[in-house]
């Protein structure tokens, strides 16, 4: 977001200064910059559409009118973008509900991401954790004040956590989110929540001082924990993953409360700390583009 503001400020400044400057072929610099500005807006609109559809609250997507309202965009400028994205199969339309959702080609892009960036290597480690713990393991990154889940390996148990890759949750409400936040200083954490900490359950930490105290503990112990702060009847442990002194991702294991025990906790903690060493070694050897 910061870079977007800087870009727009510099572009506006250049437009003001470039009205009389010309290239050798006589094209005014202002005309070129205006064209770039228009292209930037169109590109941003495409990304806005894909992000809204990917993270729609009920997973069912939006109608054309709902998208226009949500994005605050004129229907006339939105229509050709929607048409092209649908034609190229990056989004799809349900003919009964009229709602748009993510299309097959966007899913193929995700598959390409899974095959690259070392995600396959991390996924193998996650499968090893699940083999031992028999609980759900997730990998996430920080997206502003949220944790964004980019990989998941399900528990083999019949009763288990239900979640999806691509889901976002407030970082303050989850162990994996707190592990990610522990890589920031206190002022940076405060800046992520100008409107206060969001609450998901009655146990969610919404006091900033309490959250900062927990983050300090995580920096010392190397592991985060929460109980029913994001979802009732679930407990979670997580470790931050470092590369060159920076937290680039976090790994978690989630356990239903009825399966929690001192023995289970010890197994989960040991698996996570061992996995952390393996993944950080991959990052050190440059096998992870995530880092």
Pairing, β 168-170 against β 224-227:
unpaired
- Classify burial at 173, counting beta carbons within 10 Å of its beta carbon; exposed 0-12, middle 13-18, buried 19 or more: buried
Indicate if 153 and 253 belong to the same structural domain: yes
**Lookup: tokens for 263:** 């023995």
CATH number of the domain residue 186 falls in: 3.30.450.40
Indicate if 98 and 125 belong to the same structural domain: no
pLDDT tens per residue across span 87-124:
888 888 887 889 998 887 776 666 555 555 577 888 89
How far is the C-alpha of 26 from the C-alpha of 21, rounded, in Å? 9
How far is the C-alpha of 118 from the C-alpha of 151, rounded, in Å? 12
Kindly report the pTM of this predicted structure.
0.66
Distances (CA, A) of 63 to 67, 79, 83, 171: 6, 12, 13, 29
Residues of the chain with pLDDT > 70, as a percent, come to 77
Residue 111 lies in a domain: no
3-state secondary structure of 53: helix
Give the residue among 214, 259, 210 at the shortest CA–CA distance from 234.
259
Residue 289 lies in a domain: no
How far is the C-alpha of 71 from the C-alpha of 7, rounded, in Å? 20
Could you tell me which residue, 1 or 236, shows the higher pLDDT?
236
Beta carbons within 8 Å of 8's beta carbon, 6+ residues apart: none
Residue 291 lies in a domain: no
φ, ψ of residue 246 to 5 degrees: the values are -120, 135
Residue 290 lies in a domain: no
Residue 15 lies in a domain: yes
Q: What is the mean pLDDT of residues 112-137?
A: 83
Residue 155: pLDDT band by 50, 70, 90 thresholds? confident
> Which of 59, 78, 105 is the C-terminal boundary of a domain?
105
Indicate if 99 and 141 belong to the same structural domain: no
Indicate if 10 and 128 belong to the same structural domain: no
> Which of 36, 71, 105 is the C-terminal boundary of a domain?
105
CATH number of the domain residue 33 falls in: 1.10.10.10
Indicate if 130 and 256 belong to the same structural domain: yes
pLDDT tens per residue across span 9-60:
444 555 455 444 444 444 555 555 555 555 567 888 898 898 888 877 666 7
Domain count, the chain: 2
Residue 64 lies in a domain: yes
Indicate if 31 and 172 belong to the same structural domain: no
Give the domain extent around 166.
Answer: 117-284
Residue 171 has pLDDT above 70, yes or no: yes
Could you tell me which residue, 2 or 129, shows the higher pLDDT?
129
Q: What is the mean pLDDT of residues 228-246?
A: 93
> Which of 105, 140, 166 is the C-terminal boundary of a domain?
105
Instruction: Give the pLDDT of residue 28.
Output: 56
pLDDT tens per residue across span 58-89:
667 899 999 999 899 889 888 999 999 998 88
Indicate if 123 and 52 belong to the same structural domain: no
Indicate if 124 and 258 belong to the same structural domain: yes
Residue 246 lies in a domain: yes
Could you tell me which residue, 108 or 215, shows the higher pLDDT?
215
Residue 112 lies in a domain: no
């Amino acid at each position: 977001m910061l870079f977007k503001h800087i870009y727009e400020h510099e572009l506006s400044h250049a437009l003001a200064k470039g009205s009389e400057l010309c290239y050798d072929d006589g094209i005014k610099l202002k005309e070129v910059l205006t064209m770039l500005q228009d292209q930037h807006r169109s590109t941003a609109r495409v990304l806005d559409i894909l992000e809204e559809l990917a993270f729609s609250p009920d997973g069912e997507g939006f109608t054309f009118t709902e998208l226009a309202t949500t994005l605050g965009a004129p229907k006339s400028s939105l229509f050709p973008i929607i048409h092209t994205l649908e034609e190229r199969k990056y989004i799809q339309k349900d003919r009964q509900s009229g709602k748009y959702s993510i299309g097959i080609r966007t899913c193929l892009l995700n598959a390409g991401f899974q095959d690259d960036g070392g995600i396959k290597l991390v996924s193998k480690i996650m499968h090893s954790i699940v083999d031992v713990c028999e609980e759900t393991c997730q990998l996430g990154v920080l997206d502003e004040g949220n944790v964004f889940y980019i990989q998941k390996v399900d528990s083999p148990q019949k009763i288990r956590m239900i979640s999806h890759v691509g889901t976002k949750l407030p970082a303050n409400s989850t162990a994996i989110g707190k592990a990610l936040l522990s890589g920031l200083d206190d002022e940076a954490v405060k800046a992520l929540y100008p409107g206060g900490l969001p609450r998901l359950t009655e146990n969610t930490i919404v006091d900033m001082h309490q959250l900062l105290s927990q983050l300090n503990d995580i920096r010392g112990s190397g592991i985060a924990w929460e109980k029913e702060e994001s979802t009732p009847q679930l407990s979670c442990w997580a470790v931050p993953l470092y590369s060159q002194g920076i937290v680039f991702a976090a790994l978690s294991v989630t356990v239903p409360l009825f399966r929690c025990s001192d023995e289970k906790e010890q197994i989960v903690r040991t698996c996570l700390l061992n996995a952390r060493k393996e993944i950080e070694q991959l990052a050190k050897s440059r096998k992870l583009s995530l880092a």
